Amino acid sequence: MPTNPENARNRKDFSDSSNTNKPSIDSDQEAPGADSDPFEEEPRALTAEEIELQLARLGMTGSPASVEDEEPLAAPIGYVRKHGGLPATKKSLGQNWLIDAEATRLMARYLGVGEGDLILEVGPGGGALTEALLLTGADILAVEIDARMIEVLENRWPNEPRLTLVHANILDCDIHELTGGRPCAVVGNLPYNITSNLLFQLMETALEHHGFIQKILVLLQLEVAQRLASPPGSSEYSVLSVLMRVFGEPEQVMTVPRDKFNPPPKVDAGVIQMELSGEPLYTVPHWPTFKRLVKGTFHKRRKMLRNSLPGIPNLAPWEDVDFDWSRRPQTLSAEEYAWLARQLTPKRLRKDSE
């Protein structure tokens, strides 16, 4: 798929509305309540007062004399001002529009890309972050599941050759195929309900295509961001904390207050960035076994390894392996988990001769 088409309104449609809430056993993310999502609010349009408040935040105070005669404004809030509000957010998609211009500028700066680079943006929404990313000079491949927002973006940038829009569920996409194998940085304001599944997908893509994903910069629920950045030994250390460290060191670089979104979620957000190594930092002969080992032990994180390992299927015998089996999963580094996986992967599944 070309990422810099001559047709500036280039749009690809791979959507499947029947798969919006695709369940996965890979989720490591714990919701604060069994029936609640902290990023869910009732769908609604912006009120006049909220519009004026956002205009003031962006330094665009003052109302037009005639909305009907007004030309479209460049900033995301301009679309709100002209058309009476972005489409109402959808609970099922976990939508919360980022409305703070300073936050988007900082995210673009942290991404550290420029002319000739490719950005894969997940869930561009109304284009607040997209606008800041375009200023870097990089090419952007934006994947959006909501057809209404695709239309918004097409109207905002009808003649932008560096922006390609794809109407699809990112979880259903082969990311490497989507970009034509062109190395990229992945960025996005991630919906709460796809965070873990997407990060699992990115790690597996990085494992299969070394050097393809060069950097990840994502905005997500603050609690999850803190968990990803937590070191071994901390109570927040998690499955994804381990898996991501096979390729790099996740770091929380920003906190974004909840009032910088519309509608505001019930919790603040955090930005995680990670530079990915060209190849895995530690040898993992069989990724499914490695992941099963990490997930299986963290499922019983308060138990010693010798008590959690017997419940994990398809592992080689562990009793004769020289290791301190009295340790608990949150104390092991990614390097130690990779070493254990090499010892416990059955020979028939190994990709190397170790």
pLDDT of 305-321, one tens digit each?
Answer: 999 999 999 999 999 89
Whether residue 80 is predicted with pLDDT greater than 90 in this model: the reply is no
The count of other CB atoms within 10 Å of the CB of residue 289 is: 21
Pairing of strands 11-13, 184-189: unpaired
∠ CA 117-140-103, rounded to 5°: 95
Query: Given pLDDT bands bounded at 50, 70 and 90, which one contains residue 263?
Result: confident
The answer to whether residue 285 scores a pLDDT higher than 60 is yes
Task: Assign a CATH topology to domain 11-16+90-275.
Answer: Rossmann fold (3.40.50)
Confidence of residue 349 (pLDDT cuts 50, 70, 90): confident
The segment(s) of the chain belonging to CATH 1.10.8.100 are 287-349
Query: Are the C-beta atoms of residues 170 and 145 closer than 8 Å to each other?
Result: yes
Give strand ranges (E) for the chain.
11-13, 97-98, 118-122, 139-144, 163-167, 184-189, 213-221, 251-256, 261-262, 269-275
Look at 303 and 2; give whichever has higher pLDDT.
Answer: 303
* 147 vs 352, residue with greater confidence: 147
Does the pLDDT value for residue 1 go beyond 70? no
State mean pLDDT over 324-346.
96
Specify whether the CB–CB gap between 106 and 254 falls below 8 A.
yes
Q: Residue 97 — pLDDT band, cuts 50, 70, 90?
A: confident
Mean pLDDT estimate for the chain = 81
Q: Which residue has the tokens 């299927």?
A: 313
The pLDDT of residue 256 is above 90: yes
- For the entire predicted model, the pTM comes to 0.76
Determine the pLDDT at residue 154: 94
Domain with CATH 3.40.50.150 in the chain: 11-16+90-275
What pLDDT is stored for residue 347 in this prediction?
Answer: 81
Fold of the 287-349 domain: Helicase, Ruva Protein; domain 3 (1.10.8)
- Identify the band that residue 59 occupies on the pLDDT scale cut at 50, 70 and 90: very low
- Lowest mean pLDDT, pick from 61-70, 129-138, 144-153, 186-195: 61-70
